[in-house]
């Protein structure tokens, strides 16, 4: 079958990949559509180190092709979104409603594939850049067949991460001042969730002016082109300490919540500096391992500012994905406009180029 394989240096489109049969509690999925998330680019450029060969992709939706023993949640023919967290389902963290804290849910690369006859691994327990893939039953979330799979696939990573960062990792109140750094697939999902939460100001920040239009259409109240303006200063002007003073004592004024959806330490810096007293920066973007950011500690301690991480928005796939589908069907969450373009899987590098040129909210590969 065809698949996109990371060979240690770059991505290769191959037609000599095979997948094994599903074992107990496993599901074989015929992938129909897969979004290209920035984390896929990070695998190719080395920002996210990953062993090779591995079948790439982690934002996918498809149809159940076969099920292994003991699978009861889905049946052959069901449409599913493929959750990326292959948690155990029985540990204390899973039972506490935090599958992203399950110790079995990270670094659990297995080798369900062969690539040219050699054992091939998966990526993020998912490998959605393949005609067929194997996942655990816990990752298979059945959805309504009315939902186009080209839109549904975005839910698997970008949308659960963005929406979950607002719903699960933050506690945004109506009227709050918010700022979102990076208006890509993840940032646009954050913006939509903030609109649903009735945030007061939703300030989108990006270095590409082309990102402004859709950000504003999907819910941002303001757009800052960070290639031309100082984002921190602009945010403080939009949410000043007082009418005649943008910055008060201990840098008062600014945002109650900021979301870093880029993965660059300088952007983390801006997102933390933009916070009002008591504000929280939710760090979503993923830089290379070991990348650090220095923060003046008193900026946090004196007035209760915080930084929290967000792994896939703290997603609980079987609970959160149906809620997201419901919000989509009610017209609250627009997934269709986030699919800028679909491409045959052979055009993976075209998607990467279009992404870098700022032409896409999301590019979606079809199989």
Q: Which does 351 bind (CB under 5 to 8 A by kind): ligand NAD, Zn ion, none?
A: none
Task: Decide: is 251 part of the binding site for ligand NAD (CB under 6 A).
Answer: no
Q: Are 111 and 43 in contact (CB under 8 A)?
A: no
Q: How far is 32 from 149, CA to CA, in rounded Å?
A: 7
SS (H, E, C) 154-219: HHHCHHHHHHHHHHCCCCCCCCCEEEEECCCHHHHHHHHHHHHCCCCEEEEEECCHHHHHHHHHHC
User: Which pair of tokens denotes residue 79?
Assistant: 């449409």
- The DSSP letter of residue 242 is B
Q: How far is 222 from 211, CA to CA, in rounded Å?
A: 12
Q: Are 260 and 242 in contact (CB under 8 A)?
A: no
Alpha carbon 76 to its chain's center:
28
Q: How far is 15 from 18, CA to CA, in rounded Å?
A: 9
Q: How far is 132 from 365, CA to CA, in rounded Å?
A: 14
Q: Are 363 and 351 in contact (CB under 8 A)?
A: yes
- Tell me how many residues contact ligand NAD (CB under 6 A): 33
Task: Decide: is 194 part of the binding site for ligand NAD (CB under 6 A).
Answer: no
Task: Decide: is 112 part of the binding site for ligand NAD (CB under 6 A).
Answer: no
Alpha carbon 130 to its chain's center:
19
Q: Measured from the CB of residue 317, what is the shortest distance to Zn ion in angstroms?
A: 13
Q: Which residue in 5, 22, 29, 39 binds ligand NAD (CB under 6 A)?
A: 39
Nearer to ligand NAD, 199 or 361 (CB): 361
Q: Give me the residue whose beta carbon is nearest to ligand NAD.
A: 184
Q: Measured from the CB of residue 360, what is the shortest distance to ligand NAD in angstroms?
A: 7
Which one of the spans 11-19, 62-70, 201-209, 237-245 is the region binding ligand NAD (CB under 6 A)? 201-209
Q: Which residue in 93, 98, 222, 264 binds ligand NAD (CB under 6 A)?
A: 264
Q: Using CB under 5 A as the criterion, which residues of the chain lie in contact with Zn ion when the complex forms?
A: 37, 39, 87-88, 91, 94, 102, 157
Start-to-end CA distance of the chain, whole Å, equals 11
Nearer to ligand NAD, 67 or 258 (CB): 258
Task: Decide: is 151 part of the binding site for ligand NAD (CB under 6 A).
Answer: no
Task: Decide: is 261 part of the binding site for ligand NAD (CB under 6 A).
Answer: yes
Q: Measured from the CB of residue 139, what is the shortest distance to Zn ion in angstroms?
A: 13
Nearer to Zn ion, 10 or 95 (CB): 95
Binding mask 273-302 for ligand NAD (x = CB under 6 A): -----------xxx----------------
Nearer to ligand NAD, 73 or 359 (CB): 359
Q: Which residues bind ligand NAD (CB under 6 A)?
A: 37-39, 42, 157-158, 161, 181-187, 205-208, 211, 226, 261-264, 267, 284-286, 310-312, 355, 358
């Amino acid at each position: 079958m065809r698949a996109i394989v990371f060979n240690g240096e770059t991505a290769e489109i191959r037609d000599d990949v095979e997948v094994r049969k599903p074992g107990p509690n496993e599901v074989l999925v015929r992938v129909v559509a897969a979004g290209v998330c920035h984390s896929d680019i990070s695998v190719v450029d080395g920002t996210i180190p990953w062993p090779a060969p591995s079948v790439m992709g982690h934002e996918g939706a498809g149809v159940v092709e076969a099920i292994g023993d003991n699978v009861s949640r889905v049946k052959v023919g069901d449409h599913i979104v493929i959750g990326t967290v292959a948690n155990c389902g029985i540990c204390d963290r899973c039972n506490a409603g935090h599958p992203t804290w399950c110790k079995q849910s990270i670094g659990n690369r297995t080798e369900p594939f062969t690539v040219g006859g050699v054992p091939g691994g998966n990526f993020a327990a998912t490998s959605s850049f393949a005609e067929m893939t194997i996942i655990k039953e816990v990752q298979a979330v059945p959805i309504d067949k009315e939902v186009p799979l080209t839109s549904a696939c975005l839910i698997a990573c970008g949308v659960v991460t963005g929406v979950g960062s607002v719903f699960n990792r933050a506690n945004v109140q109506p009227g709050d001042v918010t700022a979102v750094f990076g208006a890509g697939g993840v940032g646009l999902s954050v913006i939509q969730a903030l609109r649903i939460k009735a945030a007061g100001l939703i300030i989108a920040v990006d270095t590409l002016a082309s990102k402004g239009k859709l950000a504003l259409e999907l819910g941002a109240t303001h757009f800052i082109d960070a290639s031309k303006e100082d984002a921190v200063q602009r945010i403080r002007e939009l949410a000043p300490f007082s009418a005649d003073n943008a910055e008060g004592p201990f840098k008062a004024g600014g945002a109650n919540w900021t979301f870093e959806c880029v993965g660059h330490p300088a952007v983390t810096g801006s997102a933390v500096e933009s916070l009002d007293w008591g504000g929280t920066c939710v760090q979503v973007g993923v830089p290379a391992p070991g990348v650090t950011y220095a923060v003046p500690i008193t900026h946090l301690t004196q007035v209760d500012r915080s930084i929290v991480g967000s792994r896939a928005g703290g997603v609980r796939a079987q609970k959160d994905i149906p809620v997201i589908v419901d919000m989509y069907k009610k017209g609250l969450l627009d997934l269709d406009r986030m699919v800028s373009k679909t491409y045959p899987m052979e055009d993976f590098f075209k998607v990467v180029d279009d992404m870098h040129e700022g032409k896409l909210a999301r590019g979606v590969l079809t199989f």
